[in-house]
C-alpha cells in the first residue's frame, strides 16, 4: 500500500504538469494504457478475461470512475489543499462500510488513530471554511465512492485475479471519457506525451499494489496507509516546485505518522498474541 501511494504521488505530479488537458481526457489516457497492460497480463497469466463475480467487478469499476471524476471536479472548483484534505476522509468511510459489507469491525483504539491522522491531514493541507458547500459535498461523495471501490476490491479477493479487478476500471472509464474526448480533445504537446505514458504506467503500478494489498489484508489496516501519501506529496512538492511548510504542517505530519504507526503497532500486538493457527490464516 505504501508503494501504491508513492506511484499515485508521481501520478498526481504528472496531472499537475498537464493541467491544460481536461480531467476526463487524462482519465481516458490512463485508462487506455491500463487496459492494454491489463489485457497483456491477463493473457499471459491464463486468467479468464471477464472474471467471475461480475456484479462486484462492475460495482468496482463504476465506483472507481465516479470517485475519480468527482475528485477532479472538486480540485477544479476549490483550493487544491482543501480538495485533497477532504479526499483523505475516504479511509474512514471505507472502515465504516466494511463493517456492513465485510463484517470487519474496528476497536475503539483504531478509531482514535483514524481521528489523529485526519487531524494531521487538515493541519498539513489546510481548510478554507468559506468553501462552496456544493463542492465540499462533491468531495465527500468522491471519498464515499472510493470507499465503495475499496470494499468491492476486498469482496473480490477470493474469486478474482488482481489484474481482472483493475481491468474493470478502464472498461467503464474508456467509453465515458472517450465520448467526452471526441468533442473536447486537447492534444498533448511535445514531451508531454512522455508524461502521459508515465501517468498511465504509474496508474497501473499503483492500482496493482493497492489491489494486492486490499486482497491480502483487512481494509482497516491497509487503507489507513493512504495517509502516508501526504508525505510523498510534500517531498515531491518541495523538490519540484520549492514548496515549503511551517511548524503547523510539521505538527500535522507528526499526527499523521503517529496515527499510522500506532495503528500498525496495534495490529502487530494482536497478531503476536494470536494462536499459531490464527496467525497462519491472517498470513494467507
pLDDT in tens, 220-250: 667 667 666 667 766 776 777 666 666 776 7
Averaged pLDDT score across all residues of the chain: 79
* pLDDT value, residue 283: 33
Sign of CA dihedral 236, 239, 244, 246: positive
pLDDT in tens, 65-88: 899 888 877 876 776 666 777 777
Q: What is the mean pLDDT of residues 11-24?
A: 81
pLDDT, one tens digit per residue, over 56-67 is 999 999 998 899
**What does 249-283 look like in DSSP terms, one character per residue?**
HHHHHHHHHHHHHHHHHHHHHHHHTS-HHHHHHHH
Q: Is the pLDDT of residue 40 over 50?
A: yes
Q: Please enumerate, as own/partner, the contacts of 16-21 that have beta carbons within 8 Å and a separation of 24 or more.
A: 17/192, 17/195, 18/188, 18/192, 18/195, 18/196, 18/199, 20/186, 21/186, 21/188
Q: What percent of the chain has pLDDT over 90?
A: 14
**Cell triple for residue 241?**
516546485
At 254-279, the pLDDT tens digits run 776 677 677 666 655 554 444 333 22
Report d(CA 9, CA 58) in Å as an integer.
26
pLDDT for res 74:
80
Lowest mean pLDDT among 39-43, 104-108, 131-135, 214-218: 104-108
Q: Write down the pLDDT at residue 117.
A: 74
Instruction: Give the pLDDT confidence of 97-106 residue by residue, as tens digits.
Output: 888 887 777 6
Portion of the chain with pLDDT greater than 70, in percent:
77
Q: Give pLDDT tens digits for 187-212.
A: 999 889 999 999 889 888 988 888 88
Instruction: Give the pLDDT confidence score for residue 57 in this predicted structure.
Output: 92
pLDDT at 179 over 70: yes
pLDDT tops 60 at residue 130: no
- Sorted by where each begins, the domain ranges of the chain are 2-283
223: which 3 cell numbers? 487503507
Amino acid at each position: 500500500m505504501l508503494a501504491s501511494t508513492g506511484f499515485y504521488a508521481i501520478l498526481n505530479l504528472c496531472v499537475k504538469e498537464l493541467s491544460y488537458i481536461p480531467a476526463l481526457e487524462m482519465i481516458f489516457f490512463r485508462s487506455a494504457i491500463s487496459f492494454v497492460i491489463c489485457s497483456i497480463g491477463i493473457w499471459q497469466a491464463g486468467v479468464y478475461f471477464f472474471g467471475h463475480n461480475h456484479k462486484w467487478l462492475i460495482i468496482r469499476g463504476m465506483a472507481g470512475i465516479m470517485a475519480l471524476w468527482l475528485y477532479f471536479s472538486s480540485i477544479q472548483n476549490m483550493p487544491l489543499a482543501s480538495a485533497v484534505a477532504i479526499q483523505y476522509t475516504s479511509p474512514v468511510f471505507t472502515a465504516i462500510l466494511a463493517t456492513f459489507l465485510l463484517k470487519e469491525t474496528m476497536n475503539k483504539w483504531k478509531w482514535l488513530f483514524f481521528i489523529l491522522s485526519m487531524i494531521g491531514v487538515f493541519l498539513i493541507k489546510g481548510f478554507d471554511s468559506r468553501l462552496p458547500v456544493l463542492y465540499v459535498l462533491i468531495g465527500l461523495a468522491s471519498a464515499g465512492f472510493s470507499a465503495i471501490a475499496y470494499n468491492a476490491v476486498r469482496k473480490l479477493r477470493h474469486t478474482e485475479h488482481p489484474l481482472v479487478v483493475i481491468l474493470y476500471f478502464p472498461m467503464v472509464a474508456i467509453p465515458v471519457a472517450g465520448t467526452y474526448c471526441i468533442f473536447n480533445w486537447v492534444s498533448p504537446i511535445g514531451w508531454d506525451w512522455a508524461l502521459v505514458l508515465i501517468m498511465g504506467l504509474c496508474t497501473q503500478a499503483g492500482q496493482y499494489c493497492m489491489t494486492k494489498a486490499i486482497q491480502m489484508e483487512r481494509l482497516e489496516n491497509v487503507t489507513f496507509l493512504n495517509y502516508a501519501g501526504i508525505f510523498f506529496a510534500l517531498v515531491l512538492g518541495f523538490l519540484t516546485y520549492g514548496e515549503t511548510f511551517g511548524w503547523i504542517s510539521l505538527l500535522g505530519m507528526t499526527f499523521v505518522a503517529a496515527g499510522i504507526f500506532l495503528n500498525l503497532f496495534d495490529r502487530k500486538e494482536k497478531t503476536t498474541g494470536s494462536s499459531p493457527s490464527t496467525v497462519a490464516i491472517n498470513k494467507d
